[in-house]
Amino acid sequence: MEQPPVRSTPPDRQACSVSRSAVKTPHPIPYQGSKRNLAPVILGYFPESVAALIEPFAGSAAITLAAAARGLAAHYVINDLNRPLIELWQAIIDSPERLARQYEMIWKAQHEDRRHYYDKIRDMFNHTGRPDCFLYLLARCVKAAVRYNANGEFNQSPDNRRTGARPATMREHIFGASCLLRGKTECSSLDYREVVAKATPDDFIYMDPPYQGVCGNRDPRYLKSVVFDEFVEVLESLNCLDIKYLVSYDGRTGDRTHGRKLPNHLRLHLVELEAGRSSQATLLGRAEVTVESLYLSPALAEYSIGVRSLESGFNWLAGGRRSESRRLRLRRIRAPAGREGTTREGKPCSRCVVEIWNPEM
């Protein structure tokens, strides 16, 4: 499957003593459902200029970190209803040395009975809420998946094959994230509706709500589920205000679909992203590929978007020269007044023009 263009990394702009890596984006928080691997593709759909990048369901904040590494926004908002997670993010950004040192102490105190030690740290976290304890639990728990019981206590079991990231590695990720985000990031633990209500047309929102296929009010993975109809109403309000946003929502694995698709009346532009072979399919010996849906808001689609190359569109644009079409990409951009372009299917369009370029040049 052809992938959309990835924005080139701007020249290095160091904000602290820790150098930025244009190749390796720091990821201090392991988290199930993270868009870490899809981040380069998703960034290809970002508008050219962003005042504030807002992640209402941040989790591991993979998109925020990737965007910050490329200098795509002036300000960042990391929000998640999971308060301990936000407190961990605050510690990463504001107190990297202290957090790295605390994690190292916990990690080095592990002994042969790692399950007993994990349970001890889990009990300590549930009583104190300490960010360093939470980071250790996330580094060692099964599939890096957050689980809470009915009392709001973390109850995920450990993966006894894992000891968690080594202190030196974790320190590198902590300081890397702090370097990217310190002084220009706001952290909050609010209802997502409150967060997106603050957005302006100059801002950009990336939403990756709790996976609707498994989410429910009693689901131990999440503190609170996102109601489908309520979410649709929020998107409608953002459309009325011409707010640019992206939504990662439903998807499919093989012939199985996950969740309800967002309704057509929202006028969203749907892009399917190939996320690769699922771990569950690999364990079962099935060659099933997971495809995730990415929805672009009307305001974003009209402004500046990257679109997947379609073979039929390339054949039309390249005059049927298949070998050349494989190397090309398409981008739709707002057309200057009086100009008319074409859509990716080759149909006339007064709102956009088509730019073709070779990414290898």
For residues 164 and 249, membership in a common domain is answered with yes
Per-residue pLDDT of the chain (361 residues; tens, 9 = 90+): 333 332 323 323 333 544 443 447 999 998 877 788 899 999 999 998 899 999 999 999 999 999 999 999 999 999 999 999 999 999 999 999 999 999 999 999 998 889 999 999 999 999 999 999 999 999 999 988 888 998 999 999 999 888 999 999 999 999 999 999 999 999 999 999 999 999 999 999 999 998 554 444 444 444 456 889 999 999 999 999 999 999 998 778 777 777 788 999 999 999 988 876 655 555 555 667 788 889 999 999 987 544 333 333 434 444 444 333 333 333 333 333 333 333 334 444 333 333 333 333 3
Residue at 9 is within a domain: no
Give the total residue count for the chain: 361
Tokens found for residue 94: 């504001």
Question: b/e per residue, 209-221, with b = 16+ CB within 10 A?
Answer: bbbbeebeeeebb
For residues 329 and 241, membership in a common domain is answered with no
Tokens found for residue 119: 């349970």
Residue-number span of the structural domain to which 338 is assigned: 311-357
- Measured between alpha carbons, how far is 20 from 235 in angstroms, rounded to an integer? 35
Residue at 10 is within a domain: no
For residues 237 and 323, membership in a common domain is answered with no
For residues 185 and 225, membership in a common domain is answered with yes
> Which amino acid makes up residue 226?
V
Residue at 8 is within a domain: no
Q: How many domains does the chain have?
A: 2
For residues 321 and 257, membership in a common domain is answered with no
For residues 284 and 338, membership in a common domain is answered with no
Residue at 321 is within a domain: yes
Residue at 5 is within a domain: no
Closest CA to 187 of 52, 50, 76: 76
Closest CA to 79 of 179, 208, 203, 174: 208
Residue at 169 is within a domain: yes
> Residue 177: CB partners within 8 Å, gap ≥ 6?
26, 27, 28, 65, 92, 93, 96
pLDDT at 16: 53
Output the domain CATH number for residue 206. 3.40.50.150
pTM score: 0.76
Residue at 28 is within a domain: no
Helix axes 167-181, 96-108, angle to 10 degrees: 160
Q: Residue 57 carries which DSSP code?
A: T
pLDDT at 62: 95
For residues 201 and 322, membership in a common domain is answered with no
> Residue 116: CB partners within 8 Å, gap ≥ 6?
none
For residues 251 and 329, membership in a common domain is answered with no
Residue 151 burial (C-beta neighbours within 10 Å; 0-12, 13-18, 19+): exposed
Residue at 32 is within a domain: no
pLDDT at 141: 94
For residues 194 and 320, membership in a common domain is answered with no
For residues 114 and 220, membership in a common domain is answered with yes
For residues 230 and 103, membership in a common domain is answered with yes
For residues 137 and 208, membership in a common domain is answered with yes
> Residue 186: CB partners within 8 Å, gap ≥ 6?
75, 76, 77, 78
